[in-house]
Amino acid sequence: MKLNPKPTIQTLNIDKDKLEQLQTRLKSTRFTISAKYDEIKKVAGGVCRMCDGIPNKIVSFDMEGAFLIEKYCDKCFEKWDKLQQKKHME
């Protein structure tokens, strides 16, 4: 049995002021990579699955009772979307 669920795609709405504050904090050289990851998690609930950046999209899959939730920034979402389109053509 091949499981190929259709994804649900949502835009992650982050308050503009919070996003600007986060971007300013992330530019600081005082933060370690781990601290930057934690800052992004506080504001966005997680990091981009591919690059650990600030996510803008939430992609969720219903895997017959279990849910898989992935977050992507715009750049990585475009890559992911192209890969999905390519898979469906095969």
> What amino acid is encoded at 13 in this protein?
N
Q: For residue 2, is pLDDT > 70?
A: no
pTM of the complete model: 0.83
**Closest C-alpha among 13, 15, 9, 11 to residue 69:** 9
Angle at 65 between CA 62 and CA 66, to 5 degrees: 65
Instruction: Convert the pLDDT of each residue in 60-75 to its tens digit.
Output: 998 887 889 999 999 9
**Closest C-alpha among 39, 47, 34 to residue 21:** 39
**Alpha-carbon distances, residue 54 vs 6, 9, 22, 42 (angstroms):** 24, 16, 9, 11
How far apart are the C-alpha atoms of 85 and 77, rounded to whole Å?
12
Instruction: Convert the pLDDT of each residue in 6-55 to its tens digit.
Output: 899 999 999 999 999 999 989 887 888 899 999 999 999 999 999 999 99
